[in-house]
Every structure is written in structure tokens, then in C-alpha cells.
């Protein structure tokens, strides 16, 4: 009876953290409880006896609420130079890539090859992809950016761009939704022009950041982290 009471007391007092996530499939799906990152975060904090609650947000709101402490953490949308935020160890790497139609046989071996192509990039790509990229497309009148990454492949398919730029896992996710795994693999060519970039969680409190880092190391060591990545390779 005493043991049962102690367990009930622990359950009532279990810590729950609130996370603000922007939709970014497959990392965070339209339901912010679903996706690669919420699963990593949930598993990592479970090793620390901490529960997680996720709500859909946008980058500006995420940063404001984590700063204020009305949210405990946000993923990827907070500038890493924000001195009020405590950033975690890398949760996962993003690799931005250039995608073309295989049938067009477009040759892209370096950033300079993008200078004369009709490009559809993700929002804010000129800042995110670095000064060499910005210089390469500086005088390109056919460069554009879109906020909805789900629209990029249909635009490429329709001939509204020669090249699209987006994250590799996001490309794989959307390509499989549109065409299935087999056709997607043969339909598109992937050009690796950019180095992978680590993405972090930003926390309001350093102690929650430290607990996440500890849990992340634990699931990387016990194989759970690799298992999550494997599951989403086939998503």
C-alpha cells in the first residue's frame, strides 16, 4: 500500500516540459507530436523521468516564448547566437542538397554551376546556405524562394525550375509521398553541394538542456537513436 501511494505521488509530480516546434516533415510533422525529432526528444527525456508536450508554433513565436519561459524549448528555429537561450548538443544534422530531374541530365558540380539555372530554394536560403552560395546566385534573375517546401517538387516536375534546394530528408519524404520510393529514386538526381549542419534544441533553462544532453547520449549509446533514424529512412 505504501509502495502504491509512493508511485501515485511520483506520477502526479512527474515533470512535463513544453516544446514549440515548427512543422518540418519528416523532422516534425503537421501534428507536432509526430516526427523524427519529437521521437528523439521524447525518448531522451524518458531516460531522465521527464515527460514532453509538443505544440505547433512558428520560429518567431518559438524564440519569444522560450526566452520568456512560457515554453521550455524549441527546435531549429532559434538563432544560435541568442545569448538568452541554452543550446543542446546536436540533435540531428540537416544536409541541404540540389535536386534536378534525372531526365534533364543537368550538370551541377559546384556552387558556381547554379549561376545560370532557374532555382527554387527554401525560404531564407540566401542567409542559411552561406556567403559562397549567396555570391553564386547574386546576379541570377531566375532565383526564387518559397515558404512551403512541399511545393518545390511539384514545381520542379512542372518545369517551373531547373533546380530545387532543400534538406535531403525533406526531399526524400516529399518525393516518396508524390511518386513512391522506387520511382522517386530514378526520377530525381541529388547533388551534394553543402556540408551537413547540426540542428539544436534551444532551452530556457540550462538544467533542462543538461538533462536532455544526458538523455541523448544514453539513447545514442543503447541503440534507440539509430533505430529511430532507421525507421524514418523508410517513412
> Does the pLDDT value for residue 9 go beyond 50?
no
Q: φ and ψ at 176, to 5 degrees? A: -70, -35
> Does the pLDDT value for residue 1 go beyond 50?
no
DSSP letter for 120, please: E
CB 187 within 8 A of CB 173: no
How crowded is the C-beta side of 205, counted as CA atoms within 13 Å?
11
With cut-offs at 50, 70 and 90, classify the pLDDT of residue 124: confident
User: What pLDDT score was predicted for residue 235?
Assistant: 60
Cell 525550375 belongs to residue = 161
| Average pLDDT across the chain, whole number | 92
Mean per-residue pLDDT, 188-215? 97
Task: Report pLDDT digits (tens) over 29-67.
Answer: 999 999 999 999 999 999 999 999 999 998 889 999 999
Cα 94 → chain centroid: 6
Mean per-residue pLDDT, 156-170? 96
Amino acid at each position: 500500500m505504501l509502495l502504491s501511494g509512493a508511485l501515485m505521488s511520483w506520477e502526479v509530480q512527474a515533470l512535463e516540459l513544453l516544446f514549440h516546434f515548427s512543422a518540418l516533415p519528416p523532422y516534425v510533422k503537421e501534428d507536432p507530436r509526430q516526427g523524427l525529432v519529437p521521437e528523439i526528444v521524447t525518448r531522451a527525456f524518458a531516460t531522465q523521468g521527464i515527460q514532453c508536450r509538443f505544440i505547433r508554433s512558428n520560429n518567431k513565436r518559438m524564440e519569444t516564448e522560450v526566452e520568456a519561459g512560457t515554453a521550455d524549448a524549441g527546435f531549429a528555429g532559434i538563432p544560435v547566437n541568442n545569448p538568452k537561450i541554452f543550446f543542446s548538443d546536436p540533435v540531428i544534422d540537416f544536409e541541404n542538397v540540389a535536386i534536378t530531374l534525372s531526365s534533364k541530365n543537368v550538370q551541377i558540380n559546384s556552387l558556381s554551376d547554379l549561376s545560370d539555372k532557374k532555382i527554387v530554394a527554401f525560404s531564407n536560403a540566401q542567409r542559411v546556405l552561406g556567403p559562397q552560395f549567396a555570391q553564386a546566385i547574386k546576379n541570377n534573375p531566375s532565383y526564387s524562394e518559397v515558404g512551403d517546401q512541399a511545393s518545390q517538387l511539384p514545381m520542379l516536375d512542372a518545369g517551373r525550375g531547373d533546380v530545387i534546394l532543400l534538406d535531403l530528408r525533406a526531399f526524400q519524404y516529399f518525393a516518396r509521398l508524390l511518386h513512391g520510393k522506387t520511382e522517386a529514386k530514378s526520377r530525381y538526381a541529388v547533388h551534394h553541394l553543402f556540408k551537413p549542419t547540426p540542428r539544436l534544441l534551444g532551452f530556457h533553462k540550462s538544467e533542462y538542456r543538461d538533462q536532455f544532453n544526458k538523455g541523448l547520449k544514453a539513447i545514442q549509446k543503447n541503440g534507440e537513436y539509430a533505430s529511430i533514424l532507421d525507421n524514418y529512412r523508410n517513412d
